[in-house]
Amino acid sequence: MPQVYAYACEDERSIFHRTTIELREPADNEIYFEIKYAGICHSDIHTARGEWGPATYPLVPGHELVGVVAKVGSAVTRFQVGDKVGVGCMFASCKECEYCRAGEEQFCNNPHAYFTYGRDAQGNPTTGGYAQGFTVREDFACRIPDSIPFETSAPLLCAGITTYSPLKRWGAGPGKKVALLGMGGLGHMGVQIAAAMGAEVHVISHSRSKEADGLRLGASYYHASSEEGTLEALASTFDIILCTVSASDLDYTAYIRALKPYGVFVDVGLPEEPASISLSALVGGNKILAGSNIGGIAETQEMLDFCAEHGIHPVVEMISGEDITEAYNKVTASQVRYRYVIDTETFND
């Protein structure tokens, strides 16, 4: 069995240290790949710090991982040694329920959730992307197109699909006005994707500190919500608002009012506390309040191919394994532009 370096935390303090983990050899339908880069998602931080419930420690997080295939099982047909691949939030599903058969594996109704790190179907602890290797069924690996810079590709496996899926579902495209609420790791991806789909893109962020970035990445307009009268001036403007922030105290009603009749407010943020809205703001314009949760494997590959075709990739800051603990603190303080990516080669130092 391969033994590789990984970075783990031992408790909710999320202080990371280098360790060695043992990975299983690939079964007939599995591949083993050497992880080259892993993104840090805010979800990793919530999980590591026990903010979404008890975690299994020691914990090796990471659900944005890309690497190069090193071994393939005897029945593998989609990949060969040397291929560039990636894995996102799921490493398996039952493949038998109605959702799996429809290509919506993220909604698998099997009692066990097959998240990339946590526990497997037998209840055994699993490790994620903050490591130098990963074994996965071939049908849960995505091919990373050569035209996407490899070192920037990992965040696409979460941030990319999280924004692509709802924008596609709700019809972002020519003639549509789309607002990205929040200009962070998710928002900066949504701006690029919505613009490539042909929509008129607006960014709504608290301040103007990221205005130049928003316009450079494809937005036509930038609005600072902290400036007096901003939201009132945007009433009945947008066909789609994609909310990428996790704030229960957000004035959701004001944003609902910024929708045109029949417009949709799609939330991908996960506030820890309940939020409130005025239902009359929805009813008055036949507006829609929706949520979105990543995407299936086929749609994730579709997103990667779309990004390759349109020259889209995350804006990242590369870090070493020793930087992970500090990076967690900087992410929670909104001090990253726009996604931290761990170079696993640094684990050898």
DSSP-derived secondary structure letter, 25:
P
pLDDT at 209: 96
Q: Is the domain of 92 the same as that of 27?
A: yes
Q: Which residue has the tokens 């949520």?
A: 291
Q: Phi then psi for 55, rounded to 5 degrees? A: -105, 160
Q: Is the domain of 211 the same as that of 123?
A: no
Tally DSSP H helices, then E strands, for the chain: 10, 17
CA angle 99, 103, 109 (to 5 degrees): 25
Q: Is the domain of 104 the same as that of 237?
A: no
Q: Is residue 300 part of a domain?
A: no
201 to 31, 106, 256, 334: CA distances (angstroms): 39, 28, 17, 23
What sign for the dihedral angle of Cα 330, 316, 105, 1?
negative
3-state secondary structure of 148: coil
pLDDT at 111: 62
Contact call for residues 59 and 7 (beta carbons, < 8 A) = no
Pairing of strands 30-39, 134-137: antiparallel
Q: Is the domain of 12 the same as that of 105?
A: yes
For every residue of 282-334, DSSP letters joined together read: HHTTT-EEEE-----HHHHHHHHHHHHHHT----EEEE-GGGHHHHHHHHHTT
CATH number, domain of 74, equals 3.90.180.10
Q: Is residue 280 part of a domain?
A: yes
What are the tens digits of pLDDT across the range 293-315? 999 999 999 999 999 999 999 99
Q: Is residue 305 part of a domain?
A: no
- The average pLDDT across 275-298 equals 94
Q: Is the domain of 10 the same as that of 143?
A: yes
pLDDT at 113: 54
Range of the domain at 195: 159-291
Q: Is residue 107 part of a domain?
A: yes
Q: Is residue 81 part of a domain?
A: yes
Q: Is the domain of 150 the same as that of 186?
A: no
- The average pLDDT across 160-174 equals 99
- The average pLDDT across 320-346 equals 97
What sign for the dihedral angle of Cα 159, 44, 121, 86?
positive
DSSP-derived secondary structure letter, 236:
T
pLDDT at 47: 93
H-run or E-run covering 204: strand 200-205
Q: Is the domain of 65 the same as that of 196?
A: no
Q: Is residue 299 part of a domain?
A: no
Distance in Å from the first CA to the final CA of the chain? 22
Of 44, 23, 19, 47, whose CA–CA distance to 35 is shortest?
Answer: 23
Q: Per the structure, how many domains does the chain have?
A: 2
Q: Is the domain of 61 the same as that of 134?
A: yes
Of 118, 8, 120, 127, whose CA–CA distance to 55 is shortest?
Answer: 118
Q: How confident is the model at residue 349 (pLDDT cuts 50, 70, 90)?
A: confident
**Which neighbouring-strand residues pair with 181?**
204, 243
Q: Is the domain of 266 the same as that of 233?
A: yes
Q: Is the domain of 261 the same as that of 326?
A: no
Q: Is the domain of 260 the same as that of 247?
A: yes
End of a domain among 254, 275, 291? 291
Q: Which residue has the tokens 């900066």?
A: 188
Question: Regarding predicted confidence, which is higher, 324 or 56?
Answer: 324
